[in-house]
């Protein structure tokens, strides 16, 4: 009887592990996107809680998607090619929410879906 219960427990554990592995591509961390609507390349940095992360360069017209596995208010910080730095207002993000930042010359528009 103990062996049977142990076998059932092991099989159930394997089943849960397989299901989690199968579903993991469909359950993303917080999705974030930044769109460069300027005529020159930009450098993007994001800041949330006590974290800061350099995302990198984004060419004109390009959209860059990235993920952060957290839940907090995020600020998009952009350095333009001429050295000018602009920041977005903070936007709260949670897992499963898509936050989009649209970068213009003088402003960063942020919304979510």
> How does pLDDT run across 19-32, given as a tens digit for each residue?
444 444 445 555 99
How many whole angstroms separate alpha carbon 33 and alpha carbon 67? 9
Tens digit of each residue's pLDDT (9 = 90 or more) over 80-107: 999 999 999 999 998 888 999 999 999 9
Enter the tokens of residue 59. Answer: 């060419």
What are φ and ψ of residue 3, in 5° steps? -65, -40
- The whole model's pTM is what? 0.74
Q: How many CA atoms lie within 13 A of 32 on its CB side?
A: 26
How many whole angstroms separate alpha carbon 90 and alpha carbon 44? 15
Write the DSSP symbol of residue 71: -
Domains and CATH numbers, the chain: 29-112 (2.60.40.2890)
> What SS3 state is found at 67?
strand
């Amino acid at each position: 009887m103990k062996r049977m219960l142990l076998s059932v427990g092991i099989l159930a554990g394997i089943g849960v592990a397989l299901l989690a592995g199968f579903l993991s591509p469909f359950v993303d961390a917080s999705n974030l996107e930044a769109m460069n609507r300027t005529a020159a390349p930009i450098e993007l940095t994001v800041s949330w809680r006590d974290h800061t992360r350099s995302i990198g360069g984004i060419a004109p017209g390009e959209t860059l998607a990235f993920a952060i596995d957290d839940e907090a208010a995020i600020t998009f910080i952009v350095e333009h090619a001429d050295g000018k730095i602009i920041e977005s207002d903070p936007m709260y993000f949670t897992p499963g929410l898509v936050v989009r930042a649209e970068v213009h010359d003088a402003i960063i528009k942020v919304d979510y879906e």
